[in-house]
Structure 1
C-alpha cells in the first residue's frame, strides 16, 4: 500500500471509529462494561450470558456446549449468539480475564471496521479516487441496515458479505485463482463460527465464485469448480458439528412450523423507515415480525439511486454494459434468489398480504429453519448500494459537481436517519441487577441447580426476567432451568417438565435444587408443602422453596414477606389438603352418570381422571364435580380441576356437558390404597350435593404390562399413528390414534405392544376423543374413539430394547389387528 493510500485508509478508519462513537459510544468497547448489555433487557443480555456461562464450562464435546443453561438439556454458545469465533478464542484465557469480561462491544466496532476495510477494497477494484472512496465508505458504514441490526451483534458481520462480494469481483488469473477460492472457503468457515444466517449468505458466493472462474474466466477445471462448493459445504458441516450447532440425534428441531413468511421482507422494505426517519413516515407491516426485513435506504441514498439510475439509462449504453459484464450474471441470479427467499411465498405490501405462492416443500422447510427470512435481502441491498455509487462516481461529469452532489447526499442521509443514529444512549459503569442480589447470593451457593417452575419460562414474573435469574445463577455457579436459546430441544424440555411436575405431585424433591416460582404456580408444590418438606421464602416477587433438611442461616425476611409465606404454609398445610371436612351426602347412584377413566398413584399422591354429570341435567353449567374417598369409616370430599369434554354432548345427546371432565390430585395421608373407596359427588347451583359410590380405588389403577405369547395378524395398512413417544428416564408417554377401517370405534380397545428380544408385552391405553380421525377417514363411520394415550413406568418392564406396536381390538365385530411401528424405546 502506497503512502497516499495509507493516509486515506487511516482517515477512513478514524472516521469509522468516530461514527461508531457517535452511534454507540466507545464506552461499550470497555471489556468490563456489561451494564449496557444487561440494562438493555433484550438480546444483548442473552449474548453476554451465553458467553459468560460458556467460559465457566469445562472443555468437552461438542466444543460449544453449555450444560448449565436450559438445564438439564443444555444449550450451545452459538444458539445464544455468543459469537463462537470469539468465545473459542477467549475461553482458554478465562482464568486470566476479569470476572465481567465481555467482547461484544469490541466485536461491534470490529464489524464496522471490517465493513469499511472491504468497502475500500471494493472501491479500489474500480480505481475510484480517494475522495469518492472516503464519501462512499462513509455512506456504506452508516447505512440504516447495519445500524438497525446492532441489536444482534453477531448479525452485524456484514464485512463477511462485502469480503465475499470483493472476492467475486476481483480479477482472477492463473496465479491467484486458487488463492481467491481458498480465501473464500476460509471466510465461510469463519462465518460459520459467527452466525448461521451470515453463513448461508456467504455460502452463496462459494457456489457462484468457482462457477464464474470456470465458465467465464476459464481458470478452473470442471472438477475444481465442483470441488470448491463441496469443500465449502463440508467445512460448514464440520464446524457446526464440532461446535455442536449441528447434531444427528434429532433432539433439536431446527425448523419451526408455519414460520416461513412470518418474518418476510415486505415489498415496502427499501423505503419503509420503520419510524427512524425525519423525512418519511413509518409505513405499516403485515405483522411486527417483519422488522426482520428492515432494509431502509435512507432519503439520501434514494436520491443518489434515482440520479445514478437516470444517468445509467439515458447516458450509459445499457446493452453494451451488460454485454461487457456477463460474468456478473451469477451474482444477479444469487441476488435474485436471496430476494425471493427474503420476500417468501407470502407476498405482502404494507399491511396487506397480496397473494401466496405455492413454494416447493423443501424451500418451506428451509424457510422454517431460517425463519427470519427478511435478513437475506442484505446481499442484494449491498449490491444495490455499491452498484449505484459506482455508477455515479464513474459518471463522465465534472468532479466538483459529483463531489458537491455526494456531500448533499450525505447531509440529507444524516439528517434523515438521525433518529436511528442517536437511538442508543448506552452507559458505562457497574451493572446492578433489579433483584436484591445480597439476599439471593446468601442463599444460592448452597445449591447446585436453580429450578424455575415452570421450567424454560423466560418471562416467569417479568418480561425477560430469565436474564436476572441467569445472572444470579452465573454469579453463584448454579445451573438453571431457563434461558432463551435460538434453537431449543423441545422434546427434552417436555420430558424434564413432565418429570418435574410428576415428582412434585408425589412430594419428591432434591436437596441440591432450589425452586423458584410465582404465586400462580404454587399449586404445583402443594404435596411437598403439605408434607412440610419445604422451606419457603418470598424474594423480589418470587416464591423460593428448598428442602427443610437444608440448614441455611439467613437474615430475617421483611414482615410483609413473612406474612405471605405464612399464608402459603397455612393454605397448603391444612389437614387433608384438597379434602374438605367430613360431610353428609345424599346417595343416589341412579342420578349420576360417570366414568373413572384411570387412577394413578405417584408416591403419596393419587390422581383420578374421568367425567361425571347429573342424569337429569341437559346442561351442567354451574355444577361442580368432586371426588370422594372413604377410608377408616369417614368420607372426605376432594376438589377437582375441570377438564373440557365437548365429546360427551354428542355421545349422550345433551345440550352442554363440556364441564363434566375432571382431574383430581389427592394426597394420601397414611391411607392404604386397598382401603380407599372412591365416589363421585356433584354440587348443583343450589348447593345440593348428590353422591354415587364408584368402588375400590385399586380397581381403577392404570394397567400394568402383560406378557403376550401370540400377536394378532399383522396389518401394515391399519389406520394408525403413534404421534408422540416421549421417553423420560423413568417413564414413557405414548399417544396417538388407531382404528379398524369400516368398524365403529365406540367399542374399540387399543393396546400398545412392547416387542422385546425374547418377550412381548401389551398394555391397554386410555381412550381420547379424536373427531379429526372421523373427518379424515370420511367414510361415514364414527372413529371418534380412535385416540389413545398411556403413561408407562419403565420399572414395570424388564430391561432391554423394545419395538413399539399397536393392537386394535373390537369385540363386537370379533376383529383384532396388529401393526408394528418404527418407534423404539430402551429400558435400562
Structure 2
C-alpha cells in the first residue's frame, strides 16, 4: 500500500509540474509564435530576429561538416549557427524534419514552450534528489521554479531560457554524491553535451555544478572522489570533443568581462515584483551598461523562505553547508564570477580589481553565473522548510504561492512581448517580390559597418531584410553574430560596393550606406524601395 501511495505521489507531482508549465506556455505564447511561417505580416525584433534568421538559413541549407554550418550566409566561410544563438539542439532535429514542416518554420518560439514546460518538471526532479518526495512540496517547488524572476526575464534571448538544464545538473549532483553509478554519470555526459548545444554559458554552469560532486566527496573524506573526478573529466572531454567536432573552438566575442555583472544588491532588488516593485522602478546598475544581464531578484517567496530557514532551522542550514561543502564552494565561485572584477553596490562601483585574466573575457555577461546559485537556494530552502514538523509543508506551500504571485509582472511582461506585432519598417511585400527572383542578396552596410550614429536604425533594417531573405532562404552576405572565429569581422564595404552587381544578385542599400554606394556604383538598375535602394545585376 505504501508503494502504491509513493507511486501515486510521484505521478501526481510530475503531472502537476508538466501541466503547470504547459499552461503557462499556452497563456504566454501565441500560436503563430509556436508555428511560424513565411510571409508573416509583422517583423521579428532584436535578438529573436537574429536567432530565427540563423535557424532558417541553417534549416534551408544542405547538410554539411561541421554539422552546424550554414554555407548560404556569410560567404566564404558560412555561419556556425551556435555563434548566432540558433539553439543547435533543436535546430538539428528540425532540419531533419524540414520536408514535413511549414515553409519558413523555425524553432525559436517552440523553444520557449519547451523551456517553460520543463522548468517546473526539472525542479520537481531536483527536489526529489534531496530525498523530499511528497506531493505538496513538489507542488510548491514547481510553482516557485516557474516563477524565478531571472528565468522569466530572459525572454529576449530564447536559448538562455533553458534554466531547466541547471536544475537537472543540480539534481544529478544530489544523486551522485549519495550513490554514484555509471548510468547517472552517463546521464551527466548527455546533459552537459546537450546543454552546450543550447548555449555555452549554460554548459559552463552545468559543468561547474557537476564539478561539485568530486569536490564534496573529497571534503567529506570519501574516496569515491577519485572516480567522480575521472567521470567529471569524461564529461568535460565529451563537451570539448563536441566543441571541436561542431566548430565551436576558436570562437571569441567582444570581451568586456564585468560590463554586465551582478550587482551586490541585485538578489534583493525587487524590480518587477508584484508586491514590492514600487520600490524598484528599474534594474539596479553600477557599470553603466544597464542591469538586465545582472538581474537576479530572488522573488519574494524565496527571499522570505531564506529568512524563515535562517530563523527556524539555523543548525540544519550549517549542517547542509558542511555536508555539501564542495557545492557551496562552487556556488561561491560562480557568485564571484557573476560579481566580476568591478564590484557594484547600488549605483556605485565599490571595488575595481583591474584587468581580469584573459579567459574570463569570454564571459562578458558575467551576471548570468548567479542563476545556479538562485536555483540552489530555492531547492535547499524548500527541502529544509518541508522537514520542519507540522508547519513545514504549509510554509513551503506559502513560499510557492507567494513566489508565483509575486512574479506576475514578469510573466505579464513576457506575454506582452510575445504578443507584440511590430510593423515592418521596410517595404516587406516589395522586397519579398524582389527576393523571390534573386539568386543572392547583398545588404549594405554589412553588420561590421553599420554607422554608429544610426546603429539601431540600420541594424534593425538589416535584420528585417535578412528576416525576409531567410524565408526562402536567399544566400546573403552578412549577419549579426554574437561570436566569430579569428579576428573580429572588419568593415570592407567599399571594396564590395565597387564590384559590379553579379547576375542574379539583389543588392539592398540601407540609408547608412547610400552615399558610399552612389559613389561606388552606377545608378542603373537601382530602384527605390521605401527608404532602401535595390539594385539588380543584368
Find the structure with the greater CA-based Rg.
Answer: 1
Compared CA separation, residues 92 and 71, structure 1 to 2 (3 A): same
Q: Hey, what does 2:152 align to over in structure 1?
A: 147
* Structure 2 gaps, min length 5: 1-5
Alignment of 1:508-657 (within 5 A): 508-526=500-518, 529=521, 532=522, 534-547=524-537, 550=538
**1:544 Cα shift?**
1.9
Structure 1 residue 38 displacement after superposition: 6.6
Change (3 A) 1:133 1:164: same
Name the SS of the counterpart of 2:154 in structure 1: helix
Contact 1:269 1:294 in 2 (8 A): yes
SS in 2 for 1:46: helix
**SS of match in other structure, 2:86:** coil
Give the CA deviation at 1:122: 2.9
SS of equivalent residue, structure 1 residue 435: coil
Q: Larger deviation: 183-192 or 461-470? A: 461-470
Checking the alignment, whether the CA contact within 8 Å between 1:29 and 1:103 is kept in structure 2 is no
Higher RCO by CA contacts (8 Å cutoff, separation 6 or greater): 2
In structure 1, list runs of 5 or more residues that go unmatched: 551-828
Match of 1:17 in 2: 22
Tell me: CA distance 1:521–1:388, structure 2 relative to 1, closer, same or farther (3 Å).
same
Matched, 1:129 2:129: no
Normalised TM-score (structure 2): 0.87
| Cα distance in 1 between the residues matched to 2:317 and 2:488 | 58
- The aligned residue for residue 169 of structure 1 is 174
- CA gap 1:387/1:75 in 2 versus in 1, 3 angstroms: same
- 1:366–1:290 Cα change, 3 Å: farther
Give the equivalent residue in structure 2 for 1:483.
479
Match of 2:233 among 221, 230, 234: 230
Alignment of 1:757-768 (within 5 A): none
Alignment of 1:27-426 (within 5 A): 27=31, 30-32=34-36, 39=43, 41-125=45-129, 126-170=131-175, 176-213=180-217, 216=220, 218=222, 220=224, 222=226, 224-247=227-250, 252=251, 254-257=252-255, 259-280=256-277, 281-282=279-280, 284-286=284-286, 287-313=288-314, 316=315, 321=319, 326-358=322-354, 361-362=356-357, 365-398=358-391, 402-403=393-394, 405-423=395-413, 424-425=415-416
Matched-pair contact (CA < 8 Å) for 1:435–1:540: yes
Give a deviation string over 1:296-331, Cα, whole Å, max 9, x none.
122232222212211123xx4665x25xx6441110
Distance in 2 (alpha carbons) for counterparts of 1:183 and 1:145: 26
User: CA–CA distance in 2 between the matches of 1:408 and 1:173?
Assistant: 29
Q: 1:474 pairs with 470, 482, 489, which one?
A: 470
SS of corresponding position for 2:536 = strand
Helix, strand or coil for the counterpart of 1:149?
A: coil
Q: Provide Cα deviations, 1:7-37, integer angstroms capped at 9, x if missing partner.
A: 3321232223223334x13636742368999
Q: Secondary structure at the match of 2:507?
A: strand
Higher strand fraction: Structure 1 or Structure 2?
Answer: 1
**Residue 72 of structure 1: CA displacement?**
4.3
Residues 21, 35 of structure 1: CA spacing in aligned structure 2 closer, same or farther, 3 A cutoff? farther
Taking a change above 3 Å as real, the CA distance of residues 108 and 533 of structure 1, as seen in their structure-2 partners, is closer
- TM-score between both structures, scaled by the size of structure 1: 0.58
Q: CA deviation at 1:482?
A: 2.7
Check if 1:442 corresponds to 2:433: yes
Q: Secondary structure at the match of 2:313?
A: helix
- Pair 153,16 (structure 1): closer, same or farther in 2 beyond 3 Å: same
Is the contact made by 2:152 and 2:410 (CA closer than 8 Å) also made in structure 1? yes
1:292–1:97 CA distance, 2 compared to 1 (3 A) = same
Question: Counterparts of 1:357 and 1:431 in 2: how far apart (Å)?
Answer: 43
The aligned residue for residue 801 of structure 1 is none
The farther-off stretch of 286-295 and 143-152 is: 286-295
Offset at 1:489? 4.9
TM-superposed CA distance for 1:476, in Å, is 4.6
Aligned-residue Cα RMSD (Å) equals 3.1
